[in-house]
A and B are shown apart, each in its own frame.
Chain A
Amino acid sequence: MKMNYRKKENILILSVISIALLVMLFPIYWMLVSSFREQEYILSYPPSLLPSHTTAENFIDIFTKTNFFLYFRNSVIVAVFTVILVLICGALAGYSFSRYRHKYRNLLMLLVMSIQMFPLVGILIPLYTTYVKLKLTNSFFGLTFAHTIFTLPFAVWFLKGFFDTIPRSIDEAGYIDGCSRFGVLVKLIIPLLQPAMIAVTIFTFLKSWDDYLFCLTLNTQPQYRNLPVGIAITSFGEYGQNWGYIMAISSAAVVLPLLGFIFLQRYMVSGLVQGAVKG
């Protein structure tokens, strides 16, 4: 009798999880399958759930007929620079918050954390007008800085938590061996925190990669658009009804983050958990 109850419970749990997994994965699967399907069969009824009429034509077309590579390159440039800037500033600031106590420490820490939650649409207009004046619109530099604002607070806060876990005796050992403060940070502490640095890199890269609002607002010229804006334009514009193209461009855009998610997930999860469970 008891056995039976357990079994029923297990079946219930398994079925709930299976449904959840199905719902979570199906749209991704559907996107991939559709992107490899011949145009006319995408529009056929009833839609076949299994891959059929496979072709790479959609991909070849978006690579040759649209500005995909331009958007892709722009996204990469901005994301890479954002990551570099965030890693440098984030590591320095995080180290400072972790190691030095002074009057303004708590205040500054609070500021950084409140920015983490700050709705950035709130500064869109002044940011835009300032950018226009500084001639920073339609530049990678301007967009990189905009992306840095919304990724930096997380990095500072997150790395500070990791610096806290490294005993100060390591710093002191470094000083005794003749390292400067900067030397201690770069040569001793950062190598110990490689996983944390990887996590910050992925998150920063992802957030920059996924940004739509800032690129749409600040970089209005086509040659500075990033991938999300490119996707949106494809889906609104002349290929608006061409679902094969739209799915292909979406698939091609998601490949990089998806690979990152699959191979580096343990770093990301530990990162998120560190941030939320510990504080």
Chain B
Amino acid sequence: MFENALKEGQLNPLQKTLIGILRAVVAVFIPLTAFAGLYGGFVFLRDSGAPQLIITAVAIVWGVGGVAALYLIGNYLIHLLPVDWGKKLTPFLFIGPAITILTWYLFLPTFRSFYLSFFGKFSRDFVGLKNYIYVFTDRTMLTAFRNNLYWLVFGTGLCVLIGLLIALLADRVKFEKIAKSLVFLPMAISFVGAGVIWKFMYSYKPEGTVQIGLLNAVSTALGGDPVAWLTIRPGNTFFLIAILVWLQTGFAMVILSAAIKQVPSSLLEAARIDGAKEFRIVFQIIIPYIKSTLVTVSTTILLLTLKVFDIVFAMTNGLFGTEVLASQQYKQMFKFLHYGRGSAISIIILIAVTPVIWYNLRQFGKREVF
């Protein structure tokens, strides 16, 4: 415990300030140098004509060696300082690289997003709140808001419900382990990959021609008409949501299942002896017991649905009224080159997730994760 060894009173104010400055330098300087060094290496590699394999090998050595060398130099410098100072600076030497990358790539861009959202096309003239007014009045945008709400409510709800159901039931069968690994399997597939697979399953050909999509094959075999699953509104959004549910149910199930396993068996036995039916046990013992895990899982998936993009983009490109916020943002940016509107949309997504993040952080605080 280093902090006990160090009594605050041993340092005078000047020394404290110096330590503060040094901390900042250590935390920022080392990773920045690492960045520059790495970048130089990459440029060199990019421009050289050596065989690909050699470049890759050199790059790996370069990357690992560069970061390690900088770290060791920093470590050595700290050793040269007085012991008290060294002890205070060390934590920052360790955190430095992570925090610098996150600051450089995350916090600065966020502020820039906010700034850009008040400018027009090509970020040239200041337009005030015009972009925000557009975002809240444009028809396509309103569809996107509505769809995102569907994604949020039904995507999250179905993932958690089905995941919970499977977790509860799998607990009672002999082949539990295999069943759980199989349900988990779709998570290995990327959103785009899943989108493509399901596009094939949903595929539609006009009536009278050969139906290659499996769902339409089934629907015609049963005597129905082929359905253009991806173009009927607003049903198509739900067919897209089904893909998310397919991908993420396994995640919800695995975590909920682990939480269910932690319910003390004495509690369950006592309830059974008292004659409680399984239903009551689930609703009055298991679910209250795993409440915090349920919240964590729900919020994780909820955050995922707020930024859903890949599925929509790969399946319908946002056509037929399947637009969501993220796909609108992408279009504003790359199709219409309107960075202002795009930024305004991203700020709105940010504002939408803030309460969820805030709530989650408070939960973590309560559970003393820190």
Contacts and interface: CB of A to CB of B under 8 A. Distances in A.
Interface in A227-271: 227-229, 231-232, 235, 243, 246-247, 250, 253-254, 257-258, 260-262, 265, 269
A212 B191 contact: yes
A181 interface: yes
A149 B101 contact: yes
Contact of A120 (B63, B189, B214, B307): B307
Nearest to A31: B197
Contact of A148 (B101, B173, B192, B259): B101
A27 B196 contact: no
Interface in A114-138: 114-115, 117-130
Contacts of B165: 16
B188 A45 contact: no
Interface stretch (A57-65, A80-88, A192-200): A80-88
Contact of B346 (A112, A122, A231, A269): A122
A201 B353 CA distance: 28
Interface string A145-173: 11011001100100000000000000000
A124 B296 CA distance: 26
Interface string A16-44: 11001101110110110010000000111
A182 B315 CA distance: 49
B interface secondary structure, majority:
helix
A119 B67 contact: no
B283 interface: no
A96 B95 contact: yes
B237 to A, nearest CB: 18
Interface in B279-332: 293, 296-297, 299-300, 303, 306-307, 309-310, 313-314, 325-326, 329-330
B166 A139 contact: no
Nearest to B302: A117
Interface residues of B, number: 119
Given A92-B95, A125-B333, A213-B310, A272 B255 contact: yes
B133 interface: no
A203 to B, nearest CB: 11
Given A84-B64, A97-B95, A102 B88 contact: yes
Interface in B163-207: 165-166, 169-170, 172-173, 179, 181-194, 196-201, 203
Contact of B307 (A20, A89, A121, A228): A121
Contacts of A95: 94
Best-surrounded residue of B198, B307, B363, B367 (most CB of chain A within 10 A): B307
Interface string B142-161: 00000000000000000000
Given A13-B169, A97-B95, A113-B364, A24 B185 contact: yes
Contacts of B3: 100-102
Contacts, number: 322
A104 B69 CA distance: 26
A77 interface: yes
Contacts of A102: 3, 88, 91
A183 to B, nearest CB: 10
Contacts of B1: 101
Contact of A277 (B105, B255, B333): B255
B68 interface: yes
Given A92-B71, A110-B361, A126-B109, A119 B329 contact: no
B179 A21 contact: yes
Interface in B245-261: 246, 249-251, 254-255, 258-259
16 contacts: A27-B201, A45-B211, A93-B94, A121-B346, A122-B113, A125-B346, A181-B75, A182-B71, A212-B309, A231-B193, A247-B196, A250-B196, A254-B188, A260-B188, A269-B254, A279-B364
The 3 closest A-B pairs by CB, nearest first: A96-B94, A126-B112, A210-B190
Interface of A: 9-10, 13-14, 16-17, 20-21, 23-25, 27-28, 30-31, 34, 42-47, 73, 77, 80-81, 84-85, 88-90, 92-93, 95-97, 99-102, 105-106, 108-115, 117-130, 139-141, 145-146, 148-149, 152-153, 156, 180-182, 206, 209-210, 212-213, 217, 227-229, 231-232, 235, 243, 246-247, 250, 253-254, 257-258, 260-262, 265, 269, 272-273, 276-279
Given A125-B333, A273-B258, 16 more contacts: A24-B186, A28-B197, A30-B201, A43-B212, A96-B90, A96-B95, A102-B88, A117-B356, A117-B357, A119-B346, A129-B112, A152-B98, A210-B192, A217-B333, A246-B200, A277-B258
